[in-house]
Amino acid sequence: MLVEPENAARPAVETFIRSGYARTYDARLAALPSRLFAVLGNDGAPLAAAGLRLHEDGFFSEAYLDTPLEILAAALGHAFERTEFLEVTTLVSATPFALFPLMAAMLAWGRERSLGCGVFTATAPLRKLFSRLGIPFVPLVAADPARLPNAVDWGRYYERDPWVCLMPNPSAPATCLLPRSRLNANLAEARLHG
């Protein structure tokens, strides 16, 4: 679900994200994006949450790049206007299973707005998880803490080898995020061509 500043769940979602980063990386997050997405449990407590930025918000991951995002993406064969990007930030999940509906909701929101390219900065464990799930992404550059004025606030985050990554088609069907659905699609494809 989209959790904007006026949403009653906003304080709990912000606390969940900040606590997750503090616990995992000893990081102190100051400002969070105005758009947050969250998956809530039956009791209303967050199970997964992340921020989402658009071009008008500025892309946090661009701090690590020497070239504007859209120019770098075009050089790699993915031509998109700056207004077609979305950025996923400050991702926290209590369980990998909550990650799937969170990503599906964010990507569906992007599809509804014709956003064609995603960007995110992901640690090595998250990149490994995305690879295992078959979520397509292109690693661009290692995130260098020296490029941030407040790098000390990020604690041990940079010990996890974060990289800026491009997701050239976040408008791909949301089933790519669900392993069982992907397996069923692959089996159906094999039956068609087999």
What average pLDDT does the segment 52-56 reach?
A: 96
Mean pLDDT value of segment 33-44: 94
Residue written as tokens 């000390």?
152
Q: Please state the domain count of the chain.
A: 1
How confident is the model over 132-155, as pLDDT tens digits? 877 788 999 999 999 999 999 999
Spatial strand order of the sheet with 35-40 comes to 2-3, 35-40, 46-53, 85-93, 117-122, 163-167, 138-142
The tokens for 192 are 């068609």
pLDDT confidence bin for 185, thresholds 50/70/90: very low
Q: Provide long-range contacts, Cβ within 8 A and 24+ apart, for 148-155.
A: 148/63, 150/30, 153/27, 153/28, 153/29, 153/30, 154/25, 154/27, 155/21, 155/22, 155/25, 155/26, 155/27, 155/28
pLDDT at 193 > cutoff 60: no
Digit-coded pLDDT (tens) for 81-94: 899 999 999 999 99
Taking alpha carbons only, the member of 31, 36, 28, 30 closest to residue 9 is: 36
Beta carbons within 8 Å of 88's beta carbon, 6+ residues apart: 50, 51, 52, 103, 106, 118, 119, 120
- Write down the number of H helices and E strands in the chain: 5, 7
Say if residues 20 and 14 touch (Cβ distance below 8 Å): no
- 85-123, pLDDT tens digit by residue? 999 999 999 988 898 899 889 988 998 998 988 899 999
CA-derived radius of gyration, the chain: 17
Percentage with pLDDT > 70 across the chain: 87
- Domain around 118: 2-193
Q: What is the pLDDT of residue 134?
A: 79
Taking every pair of Cα atoms in the chain, the longest distance, rounded to a whole number of angstroms, is 56
Model pTM score: 0.84
pLDDT at 189: 38
Residue pair 148/100 in contact by the 8 Å Cβ criterion = no
* Predicted confidence band of residue 72 (pLDDT cuts 50, 70, 90): confident
Q: How many Cβ atoms are within 10 Å of 102's Cβ, its own excluded?
A: 23
Contact 41/4 with Cβ under 8 angstroms? no
Element (H, E) at 93: strand 85-93
The CATH number of the domain where 187 resides is what? 3.40.630.30
